[in-house]
């Protein structure tokens, strides 16, 4: 198979982990006889520094032309401490999602058995948990009208959803549930929020088309509790942008670390595959970032955008084998991990490459 893959490392540890993710794609191409043609593009703080724009037109053009994108992260402490900065790295990310029509963010939350001890949740509650989140990505409070009034002393952000926006992600989530344990949980706050009432109405209307999928509706506050109390009760979860943002970070603790979780953002065009973590400036440049989320993002890319399930499974199995062999990065090590088994970013990548 011949495909164009755009590498967009972005900021901070995005640069470090995406380099490892790319090596894994290279190894897969060599092993299975595929031809992956790479290009690279700027986004985020590095793009602002180079061009003044968090998503330069040249990057956007390359994104639109590519078959899939392996993405790192955006962000820089300079902007985190200056909420009034007009040009910001995350504007690049939001615009990319909008321009590429990426309306569904998929986050598989699956715990590798070897990491049961790395989570702050008890192993007996976690074992076997396997959740697939669908977070809506282009609507909600992030994209509605926002501003200040009363001399700046009152602020507002408008949340908006259309029936069409809810329908298209609902169908993706129902389709996925069909290929899994056939359970769908839709999360909203329909007791108080109008967009949530529309959300629930639409999910109920689509559910009729999927009689084989069992649907439940949960409020977001109850879901936050249930994810910790009984994560195994969930199969596919579908929710709006803001709720999904928060719940998926919470759920990352089920997997033991943000450094383990991959995500796919898909829509009608090019898909973007990225770790769920940010640019982590507290560890940037130290060579200790966990590259497994980027490696697992590469696996998702092969599976979802190119339909290369076998290649994808080879990567996941290699990660599993590395963990079984006892290797850990610092974020997923625990008190029982021997110092010799605690690896940096590149060494961890090498262990995975060897097992592919
Ligand atoms: P973060 O995910 O960057 O880091 C949170 C914590 O997890 C940090 O202690 C970090 O060291 C650790 N961590 C994250 N990824 C890790 C990895 N691969 N290996 C080991 N440890 C890891 O979140 P934050 O600190 O809230 O944000 C830092 C910056 O990232 C901010 O500028 C924020 O805006 C940005 N951000 C970007 C994205 C994105 O690009 N999609 C997502 C979240 C945050």
On the question of pLDDT at 257 being above 80, the answer is no
Tell me the two tokens of residue 330: 């610092």
Q: Is the CB of 331 under 6 A from ligand 1?
A: yes
Which of 234, 253, 272 delimits the end of a domain?
Answer: 253
Residue identified by tokens 């010799």 is 340
Number of H helices, E strands in the chain: 13, 12
Q: Which atom from ligand 1 is nearest to the alpha carbon of 275? A: 41
Is 123 domain-assigned? no
Share of the chain above pLDDT 70, in %: 100
- The pair of three-digit structure tokens given for residue 160, joined into one six-digit string: 């908006």
186 and 206 part of one domain = yes
Kindly state whether residues 233 and 154 are assigned to the same domain: yes
What does the alpha-carbon distance between residue 347 and residue 129 come to, in Å, rounded to a whole number? Answer: 29
**Residue 26 annotated in active site:** no
Domain of 325, CATH number, reads 3.40.718.10
Q: Which residues span the domain enclosing 171?
A: 130-253
CA torsion, ordered 243, 173, 166, 154, to nearest 10 deg: 10
* Residue to mutate, 279, 284, 294, 296, ligand 1, most ligand atoms under 8 Å from C-beta: 279
Ligand 1, closest atom to CA 76?
32
Q: How is residue 52 written in tokens?
A: 């003044």
| For ligand 1, mutation pick of 13, 54, 81, 258 (most atoms within 8 Å of CB) | 258
Q: Among 80-84, 117-121, 160-164, name the one with the lowest average pLDDT.
A: 117-121
Residue 155's alpha-carbon distances to 16, 142, 144, 193, 234, in angstroms, are 37, 14, 13, 18, 36
Q: Which of 221, 253, 285 is the last residue of a domain?
A: 253
* Spatial distance between the Cα atoms of 254 and 222, rounded to a whole number of angstroms: 17
Tally of domains within the chain: 2
Q: Whose CA is nearest to atom 16 of ligand 1?
A: 259
In the residue annotation, 78 being an active-site residue is answered as no
Question: Is the pLDDT reported for residue 351 higher than 80?
Answer: yes
**CB half-sphere exposure, 1, CA atoms < 13 A:** 16
Confidence of residue 189 (pLDDT cuts 50, 70, 90): very high
198/298 same-domain check: no
Confidence category of residue 112, pLDDT binned at 50, 70, 90: confident
Take residue 72 and report the two structure tokens written for it: 């790192």
Based on the domain organization, do 239 and 297 belong to the same domain?
A: no
Q: Is residue 112 part of a domain?
A: no
* Side-chain-side CA neighbours of residue 243 (13 Å): 25
Q: Which of 39, 82, 221, 313 is catalytic?
A: 221
Annotated active-site residue 282? The verdict is: no
Start-end of H helices in 137-275: 163-178, 194-207, 220-229, 241-252
Which of these ranges, 47-51, 86-90, 331-335, has the smallest mean pLDDT? 331-335
User: Which pLDDT belongs to residue 110?
Assistant: 83
Average of pLDDT values for 114-139? Answer: 88
The answer as to whether 118 is a domain residue is no
pLDDT in tens, 134-173: 999 989 999 899 999 999 999 999 999 999 999 999 999 9
If we measure between CA atoms, which residue out of 18, 48, 8 comes closest to residue 346?
Answer: 18
The reply to whether 246 and 316 lie within a common domain is no
Contacts of 259 (CB under 8 A, 6+ apart): 275, 277, 289, 290, 292, 293, 329, 331, 332
- For atom 4 of ligand 1, which residue has the closest CA? 280
Same domain, 278 and 353: yes
Domain boundary among 253, 268, 294: 253
Nearest to 196 by CA among 223, 165, 161, 156: 161
Tokens found for residue 247: 């719940």
The reply to whether 87 falls in a domain is yes
Q: Which of 67, 80, 249, 320 is catalytic?
A: 249
Considering the domain architecture, whether residues 267 and 344 belong to the same structural domain is answered as: yes
pLDDT of residue 268: 83
Q: Which pLDDT score is estimated for 301?
A: 97
- pLDDT for residue 39: 98
Ligand 1, atom 23, residue with closest C-alpha: 278
The active-site residue, picked from 110, 130, 142, 182, is 142
Q: Is the CB of 190 under 6 A from ligand 1?
A: no
């Amino acid at each position: 198979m011949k495909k164009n893959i755009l590498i967009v490392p972005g900021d901070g540890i995005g640069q470090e982990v995406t380099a490892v993710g790319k090596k894994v794609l290279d190894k897969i191409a060599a092993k299975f006889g595929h031809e992956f043609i790479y290009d690279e593009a700027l986004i985020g703080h590095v793009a602002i520094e180079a061009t003044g724009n968090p998503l330069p037109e040249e990057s956007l053009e390359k994104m639109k032309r590519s078959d899939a994108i392996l993405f790192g992260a955006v962000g820089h402490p300079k902007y985190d401490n200056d909420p009034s900065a007009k040009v910001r790295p995350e504007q690049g990310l939001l615009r990319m999602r909008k321009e590429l029509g990426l309306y569904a963010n998929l986050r598989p939350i699956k715990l590798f058995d070897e990491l049961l001890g790395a989570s702050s949740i008890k192993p007996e509650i976690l074992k076997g948990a396997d959740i697939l989140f669908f977070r809506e990505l282009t609507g909600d409070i992030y994209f509605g009208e926002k501003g200040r009034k009363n001399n700046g002393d009152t602020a507002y952000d408008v949340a908006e959803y259309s029936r069409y926006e809810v329908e298209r992600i609902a169908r993706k989530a129902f389709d996925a549930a069909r290929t899994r344990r056939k359970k769908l949980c839709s999360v909203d706050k329909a007791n108080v929020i109008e967009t949530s009432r529309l959300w629930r109405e639409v999910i109920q209307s689509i559910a009729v088309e999927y009689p084989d999928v069992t649907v439940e509706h949960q409020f977001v506050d109850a879901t936050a509790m249930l994810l910790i109390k009984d994560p195994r009760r969930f199969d596919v979860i579908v929710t709006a942008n803001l709720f999904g943002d928060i719940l998926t970070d919470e759920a990352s603790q089920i997997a033991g670390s943000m450094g383990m979780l991959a995500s796919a953002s898909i829509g009608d065009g090019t898909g973007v595959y990225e770790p769920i973590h940010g640019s982590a400036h507290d560890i940037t440049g130290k060579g200790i970032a966990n590259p497994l989320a980027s490696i697992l993002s590469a696996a998702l890319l092969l599976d979802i955008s190119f339909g290369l399930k076998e290649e994808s499974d080879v990567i996941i199995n290699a990660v599993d084998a590395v963990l079984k062999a006892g290797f850990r990065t610092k974020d997923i090590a625990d008190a029982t991990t021997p110092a010799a088994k605690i690896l940096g970013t590149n060494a961890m990548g090498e262990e995975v490459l060897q097992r592919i």
